[in-house]
Amino acid sequence: MTFLVALPVLLPLLAAALSLVAGRSPRVQRLLGVVVLTAIAAVAATLLLRADSEGPVVLRLGGYGPPFGITLVADRLASLLLLVSALVTLAVLVFSIGQRITDFGRRTASTAFHPMYLVLCAGVSMAYLTGDLFNLFVAFEIMLGASYVLITRRVTAERVRPSMTYVIVSLTSSLLFITMIALVYTATGTVNLAAMPEKIAALPAGVQSSLALFIVIVFGIKAALVPLHFWLPDSYPTAPAPITAVFAALLTKVGVYALIRTQTLVFVHEDSWAVLLGVALVTMIIGALGAIAQNDLNRMLSFLLVSHIGYMLFGLALFTVIGLAGVILYVVHHITVQGALFLVSGLVTRHTGTVSLQAMSGVARAYPLVAVLFAIPAMSLAGIPPFSGFVAKMALLQAGAEVGTAMAIAVTAGAVVTSLLTLYAVTKIWVGAFWGPPTEPLVDDDPNDDVTVGTGSTSSAMVGATGGLVLISVLIAVFAGPLADMSERAANDLLHDEGYRSAVLGEGNG
Amino acid sequence: MLVAILAHFALAAVLPLVARRYGRAAFVVGALAPAATLVYALARGGEAVSGAPPLETLAWAPVIGLEFTARFDELALLLILLVSGIGAVVLCYYSRYAKPDDHRTAARDSALLVTFAGAMLGLVLADDVISLYLFWELTTVCSFLLVGGDGVAKRLRTSATQALLVTTLGGLAMLLGLILLGTAAGTMRISEILADPPSGGIVTAALLLVLLGALTKSAQVPFHPWLPSAMVAPTPVSAYLHAAAMVKAGVYLVARFSPAFADHPAWWIPIVVCGLWTMLLGGFRALRQYDLKTLLAYGTISQLGFLMVMLGAGTWMSALAAGTLILAHGLFKSALFLTVGIIDKRAGTRDIRELSGLGRQWRGLTTLATFALMSMAGLPPLLGFIGKEVALEALFEGGTVDRLIGVGVAVGSVLTVVYSLRFLRGAFGTKPDMAPSAPVPCGRVMTGMVAVPSLAGLVLALAPSVIEPVETGYADRYGKDPGYHLALWHGITPALMISVGIIAAGVAVHRYAGVQRLGGYVPGPLRAQSWYGRSVEGLESLARGVTGRLQVGSLPVYLGVILTTLVVVPGAGLFSGDIDFGELRLFDNWLQVPLALLVLVAAATSLLARRRLTAVLLAGVVGYGIGAWFVVDGGADLALAQFLVETLTLVVFVFVIRRFPPRFIENKAYVGGRWVKAVIAGVAGTFVAVLAVLYSGYRGGIPEASRQYIERAEDETGATNVVNAIIVDFRAFDTIGEITVLAVAATGVASLILARSRRRNGTVGRPEPTEQDATDDTGTTETPEVRS
């Protein structure tokens, strides 16, 4: 059974290689992608059931155990996120295939897209599953490498600069990441996450907190915490809708996951974490204000993404079972909802020919289905009951009130204010884009790039993929009970990590 | 009762299908849900007033405190009479009010109204704070969509948005308040919180937050302007949401929590102050309205203020008054709204300056409306009169504060009489200088629907014992029953005398013509509506200001912020504890000293270089210097790799740089920017170096992993070179990953080059993307190819 843990990484890598070879045969490429991502989802579901009933599934690669071999670990948290991510990447892939077929016909191959997309998925899976800090770095490199290609693919003159912002900031974060690993290895002599806490605990307090905060900054750049977030709203909105959707849904969340994993497993909770609460508050508010100031639909969604990363940091900084359960629920909810919103934005742009909220109007009347597909995730994002965002937010707010310190209450209040600001922003989108008299779509100003806008043509695959994501977000709310139970167990694992550590370190040095 | 709520939602889900086929008949189908609920609630009414109300729960996500609980007590029953009763009436009415061929609107509005009815039902039954909030927001969303309608007209959009934002502001504040309250009480069940109310500073804050929710939802000053704006909604929607049901939610919330907190100054003082202010301002503003519907909206605001005052007073008698008035107001106000709907629909206008002689044409409707108006003005023999009698009795029998409140209420009631008369004359009167409106039928079904609430106000007043158990049951939560009974006649009491005085004064003021000019005038700056506009404008400009200042769009600034944060945050963490550098050795080998100097000087000079080639060469010096260092430290193989990479990079750079301008483009706006960057880079580099030195002092000996690599390499992998063993065996998984990165980079470069050539061959002529676009004074043009 343990070999299953490697499949979510190896399958897409293998498929990527095949897909690259089959570059001239679009049907094979499409089939490979869909089959492999479906398989990952199935594996992830199996791992989740197994991890939930029997504890973490551990695979020692090459039979080499810690401290010098690499281990892959599928515990509840990792497999849950893996499952959701696989479903989202699948939906985005279907959307993307639908879009290309609509624009260029069935026979046009896209040599680079499919292999790179699969590599990206492999990187994401690896980041979730690895139990090794250096391997996590490799996972990030795979993921980022593929993302550089995806964001600069068919780049136009206007898109060069934002893409370079993305690439350079990401490279900086990679540089800091490898520096961080060097520092960690210097101080502890291990890169195995499960072996680290024991070594870290022996260090003086100042060293511990400087190391912990260094790691927060490294992953904070990826997760786009304020003030490390500036690159995100400048670069994401310029990519084609499916690319932005998968970046927004997953890449920042992998950063958040890495934060959760390292801060819970490796470090002990201390008072200096009040800093994290402060960062959470600032992230929520600055992001939401940024969203309100935008007229560009995608830029607004990107700022909202930043804002809601603040919620996840909030729950982590509280460091209680309910708080962490809230974070897990929030991540699961946010992956689906943010992905869905960017896909809807893709549909809207194709119908209106513009991303400017002032220029678009009347989408609800002309395309009622698109309006519904926007309304549900938008309300969910704003935390309007009874959707998934509400469920996750309730857990976080209650956790904040239970902790009850002045700072915790302040951030809880900030979270409520952010909800209102988010609602204001999505209402602006709704009122501006969906209500009002229907207008003629604007003509595509750049027919040569990857996105055909203003044609009004969408295929059932595109709408279906978006609908699929929306449906998942609704199901998250409907099955909030079992999901919350699972999240609570996962949160317990995080706070009492003996299970994880003994599963990884248990049987001696392989 | 939970089944009833769910039934509403299930029915709402299928109504669009019904409407697609049968059009506006969908409204009648929709009415089945509230009608059945009303019958069911009445059948089980005995249990509600029994003192041990039935409780139902449905788990959703209990781990995080999400569950639905419904508690069917007297207060819930009282509100269900309105929510379900008026709901059924309004839906039937709407089936005639709607345009026969507009299936789209019928589908949307019927589904939304039934959803709304379900949400209101859930709201009044909810016994835990989270269900309460859930249904509360659901009503807000329904209201947004119902007011906005098809959203084509700008007026609809702005009104819907205002209602949404104001009530959500309150709703979220309420949520925070309820959670704080629940946390302080240790339970999220409302009945348990009320049974053993918590106290303390946080509870005061919580109560104020909860009140904010109630005041916004029930359109109390200064949040009220959303309600008159929302009158752009179809009249049946207004009758239901803005008269009978949704605006009562705030009153209901206060009614729910008052028994436990009526003595808390943070609770009753704001309620009474805002309530009185609202009652007077609403009545005053109603005096000048020409639009019958807006007149009623201000009347509603005024009446809601009245209800708030009675609940804030917090005695047995005042609670009895509030309970009676909640019912009376729901009945007469919905009847009046439905009347306005008929006038608007059939006579083509609801402006009183254009209406004349309708009273003679529509005698039946006029009689029904007059009953409703009499109830509103507090005339016998109607339920409004009974309620007002109790209110006056409650206030004027109390202490000084109560009497002062009583005077305010009396003045407000005079205004109510005046605008009731204004409505009667304006809607149905025959104006001497105007031709009577053209005769049209007023519609039998719609008039019939007006009759239900209007006559209910009459019947209940004649037989008040029907509702007395409900009303006194609620009042009993405030104290002992003083033996008072609801009745039209209590003998000649002070309250009756005051009532007579109020009516006489009202008639007199109505006769005074100056009231037209004087009434309703509010100076511009004091208008609450302008404050709403300013708040939204302020929020927008704050957002623009903050974002404009932070999101400057400059990559060097972003990198500078990242590096600064890197130094400041972990630096602060480091100095929060003791640090000990231990024994420092300056160097192991004297050759390290000149090499270190070389690397440092080259790195520093490269920052200041103005020519690209110079910068690249200096960066090369840094690389070779480090390679030399490896040699000194005995890592010859490592040095070899380093020299190779360095040479290759240099060659690639030289090839690429030939296509660039020889000098960096100087940005004149950043004079001195170069030095700032140099300082940030220098400090960040030094900081990391300090960390490395410091951390290495805490490590005891060779790490376990390194030891094992050396020990086991040859035995287990057969490799004599440990590095090779690690790369291709021990940590081969990392290597697979790195190879993937390499392949990805190659694919990326190929795809960029292919895209370029494809574009060159393209038919659309447009400027080549120039390399300069990607280059600024950071001098970095790193692309994936360089990294691989």
Domain chopping of chain A, boundaries: 2-505
Which of A79-83, A200-204, B355-359, B510-514 is predicted with the least confidence, judged by mean pLDDT?
B510-514
Reported pTM: 0.93
Residue B565 at interface with chain A, using a CB cutoff of 8 Å: yes
Residues of B in contact with A386 (CB under 8 A): 134, 138
Residue B580 at interface with chain A, using a CB cutoff of 8 Å: yes
Closest CA to B622 of B601, B636, B640: B601
Instruction: Say which of A217, A379, A395 has its CB closest to residue B569.
Output: A217
Q: Give me the pLDDT at residue B511, please.
A: 87
Average pLDDT over residues A472-500: 94
User: Please, what sign has the CA dihedral across residues B18, B22, B24, B25?
Assistant: negative
Residue A366 at interface with chain B, using a CB cutoff of 8 Å: no
Contact A149 B705 (CB under 8 A): no
What residues are paired with A60 via a beta bridge?
A71
Domain B580-759 matching CATH 3.40.1350: the answer reads no
ipTM metric:
0.93
Length of chain B: 788
pLDDT at residue A497 tops 90: no
Q: Between chain A and chain B, how many beta carbons pairs sit less than 8 Å apart?
A: 350
Q: Give me the pLDDT at residue B483, please.
A: 85
Q: Are A429 and A302 in contact (CB under 8 A)?
A: no
Contact B561 A386 (CB under 8 A): no
Contact A70 B731 (CB under 8 A): yes
Instruction: Say which of B64, B561, B748 has its CB closest to residue A148.
Output: B748
Contacts of B14 (CB under 8 A, 6+ apart): none
Domain chopping of chain B, boundaries: 1-127, 218-520, 580-759
Average pLDDT, consecutive stretches of 10 residues, N- to C-terminus, chain B (788 residues): 94 95 94 96 91 91 91 95 95 94 92 97 95 96 94 92 96 96 94 93 95 96 93 95 92 96 94 96 91 95 96 94 96 96 91 89 94 95 95 91 94 95 92 82 90 96 93 92 89 92 93 68 76 93 94 89 93 80 79 92 86 90 94 89 94 88 70 77 92 84 82 83 86 93 91 69 41 37 34
Average pLDDT over residues A71-90: 96
Distances (CA, A) of A158 to A356, A449, B75, B218, B460: 16, 11, 63, 51, 73
Residue carrying structure tokens 């940091």 = A313
Residue B581 at interface with chain A, using a CB cutoff of 8 Å: no
Distances (CA, A) of A345 to A237, A429, B15: 10, 10, 29
Comparing alpha-carbon positions, the chain B residue that sits nearest to A136 is B734
Residues B603 and A88: their CA atoms lie apart, in Å, by 45
Q: DSSP letters along B618-663, please?
A: HHHHHHHHHHHHHHHHT-HHHHHHHHHHHHHHHHHHHHHHTTS-SB
User: Please, what sign has the CA dihedral across residues B562, B566, B567, B570?
Assistant: positive
Residues of A in contact with B173 (CB under 8 A): 416
Q: At A65, is the secondary structure helix, strand, or coil?
A: coil
What residues are paired with B61 via a beta bridge?
B66
Residues A166 and A146: their CA atoms lie apart, in Å, by 13
Record the tokens describing residue A296, joined without a space.
């560009």
**Residues of B (108-137) whose Cβ lies below 8 Å from A:** 130, 133-134, 137
Which of A153-162, A277-286, B202-211 is predicted with the least confidence, judged by mean pLDDT?
A153-162
pLDDT at residue A476 tops 80: yes
Residue A138 at interface with chain B, using a CB cutoff of 8 Å: yes
**Residues of A (96-125) whose Cβ lies below 8 Å from B:** 111-112, 115-116, 119, 122
Contact B769 A146 (CB under 8 A): no
Average pLDDT over residues A464-478: 96
Distances (CA, A) of B161 to A287, A355, A460: 22, 22, 32
Comparing alpha-carbon positions, the chain B residue that sits nearest to A295 is B544
Q: Give me the pLDDT at residue B528, please.
A: 83
Contact B695 A70 (CB under 8 A): no
Asked if omega into A67 is within 30° of 0 (cis), the reply is yes
